[in-house]
Amino acid sequence: MRLSFLGPPGAGKGTQAQRVSARWRIPHLSTGEMLRAAIRAQTPLGQEVQGFMRAGNLVPDALVIRMLRERLEQPDIRPGFLLDGFPRTVVQAEALETFAPLDRVLYFDIPEAELLDRLAGRLSCPVCGRVYNLRSNPPRSPGVCDDDGTPLLQRPDDRPEAVRVRLSVYHQETAPVLAYYRARDLVESVPATGSVEEVYQRILRALGGAPPGRSEEAL
């Protein structure tokens, strides 16, 4: 299974990718999370990309393609992978085609008003990366991570001015990626409104239930 979740910022791709990758036992590769980890560690890549990300712009194609290509060379990728946030431009889709072509793309279909609401309420743990939502998925104690007690933060690119840029970049650069994969008949659309569980059940149906070689009962 070489799968990618495609959709606008805040559609719930990361939330669902964690569950699907655990069920299918394939690595969840979020380019956004890989880049944020590089910023936290202040690696040369992190220092180079932080200005783009904070403003809500895409990181240059060459940097993100190289980062992902190196990750896909690791041995844990052999059973497949779930990409979250890649490809985001047609240049990235064309590059991926040369080293790890996809066999499924799930498109998260959601109205813009719902995205704004979700992004405005998102908080994340800067240490473990766990994502919360003030409205739909609050932490047990206000403002701190359930797992490690770290104070939760709003992502810098969830500020309203950066969200506006991200949505505009999405329409300009990432919507054509959907057309690219539709032309290859790889896209399944999943309505991404409703609860996390409802969306998850729709994804399971779109993917055809249990992973190959494993029964529903074993999951």
CB of 60 to ligand AP5, least distance (A): 8
Find the DSSP H helices in 100-159.
112-120
SS3 56: coil
Tokens encoding 154: 């709003």
The 8-class DSSP code of residue 171 comes to: I
Query: What sign does the dihedral 182-184-188-193 (CA atoms) show?
Result: negative
Tell me, yes or no, if 135 is annotated catalytic.
Answer: no
Q: Which is nearer to ligand AP5, 136 or 189 (CB)?
A: 136
Residues 113 and 100: their CA atoms lie apart, in Å, by 34
Spot the catalytic one: 36, 88, 104, 118.
88
Residues between 96 and 125 that touch ligand AP5 (CB under 6 A): 118, 121-122
Query: Taking contact as CB under 6 A, which single stretch among the options 19-27, 40-48, 58-66, 143-151 is the one that binds ligand AP5?
Result: 58-66
CB of 212 to ligand AP5, least distance (A): 26
Within 13 Å of residue 112, how many CA atoms lie on the same side as its CB?
7
Tell me, yes or no, if 23 is annotated catalytic.
Answer: no
CB of 9 to ligand AP5, least distance (A): 3
Q: Which of 131, 178, 206, 210 binds ligand AP5 (CB under 6 A)?
A: 131
